[in-house]
Amino acid sequence: MRIRIRHETTYRYAEAPRMAVQHLRLTPRNHDGQHIVGWRIDVDRDCRLVQSEDAFGNTLHRFSVDGPIESISTVVEGEVTTFDMAGVVSGAVERFPPILYMRETSLTAPNAAISAFAREAASKESGTLARLHALLGALHESLIFDADATHATTTAAECFEHRQGVCQDFAHLFIACAREIGAPARYVSGYFLRSDAEDQVAGHAWAEAYVEDLGWVGFDPTHGVSPHENHVRVAVALDYLGAAPIRGAQSGGAGETMDVRISIAQAPAFSPSQSQSQ
Partner 1 sequence: MDSLLTQFDELAGADGRTRAPYRKLSQWLAATPPELLASRREQAELLFRRIGITFAVYGAQEATERLIPFDILPRILSRGEWTTLEKGLIQRVAALNAFLADIYGGGEILRAGIVPADLVYRNPAYCPDMAGRRVPYDIFVHIAGVDIVRTDDQGFFVLEDNARTPSGVSYMLENREVMMRLFPELFAMHRVAPIENYPDELLATLRSVAPPRANGDPTIVLMTPGQYNSAFYEHSFLADKLGVELVEGRDLFVRDDIVYMRTTEGPRRVDVIYRRIDDDFLDPLCFRPDSALGVAGLMGAYQAGNVTLANAVGAGAADDKAMYTYMPEIIQFYLGEKPLLQNVPTFRCREAEALAYVLDRLDELVVKEVNGSGGYGMLVGPHATRAQIEEFRAKLTAHPQNFIAQPTLALSTCPIALASGVAPRHVDLRPFVLQGANGARVVPGGLTRVAMTEKSLVVNSSQGGGTKDTWVIDDAWVDEKAMGQA
The DSSP secondary-structure symbol of 252 reads S
Q: Which of 21, 41, 75, 149 binds partner 1 (CB under 8 A)?
A: 21
Q: Is 249 in the site for partner 1 (CB under 8 A)?
A: yes
Asked whether 10 and 72 are in contact (CB, 8 A), the reply is yes
Sites for partner 1 among residues 23-42 (CB under 8 A): 23
- Per the CB < 8 A criterion, the answer to whether 113 and 156 are in contact is no
Q: How many Å apart are CA 260 and CA 9, to the nearest integer?
A: 5
Closest separation in Å from C-beta 21 to partner 1 = 4
55 near partner 1 (CB under 8 A): yes
Binders of partner 1 among residues 91 to 120 (CB under 8 A) are: 95-97, 99-100, 102-103
d(CA 70, CA 62): 19
x/- letters, 125..154, toward partner 1 (CB under 8 A) = ----------------------------x-
Binding to partner 1 by residue 241, rule CB under 8 A? Answer: yes
Query: If binding is defined by CB under 8 A, does position 163 make contact with partner 1?
Result: no
Report which of 103, 75, 101, 107 is spatially closest to residue 89, judged by C-alpha positions: 101
- State the Cα–Cα distance between residues 174 and 102, nearest whole angstrom: 13
User: Is 64 near partner 1 (CB under 8 A)?
Assistant: yes
Closest to partner 1 by CB, 34 vs 108, is 108
Our CB check for partner 1 shows the closer of 96 and 145 to be 96
Q: Is 247 in the site for partner 1 (CB under 8 A)?
A: yes
SS3 state of residue 176: helix
The minimum distance between CB 101 and partner 1, in angstroms, equals 9
Q: Is 248 in the site for partner 1 (CB under 8 A)?
A: yes
Beta strand pairing status for 34-43 and 144-145?
unpaired
Buried residues in 244-265 as b, exposed as e (16+ CB within 10 A): bbbebebeebeeeeeeeebebe
The reply to whether 56 sits near partner 1 by the rule CB under 8 A is yes
Residues in Cβ contact with 151 at an 8 Å cutoff, skipping those fewer than 6 apart: none
Q: Which residues bind partner 1 (CB under 8 A)?
A: 19, 21, 23, 48, 50, 52, 54-56, 62, 64, 66, 95-97, 99-100, 102-103, 153, 238, 241, 247-249, 251
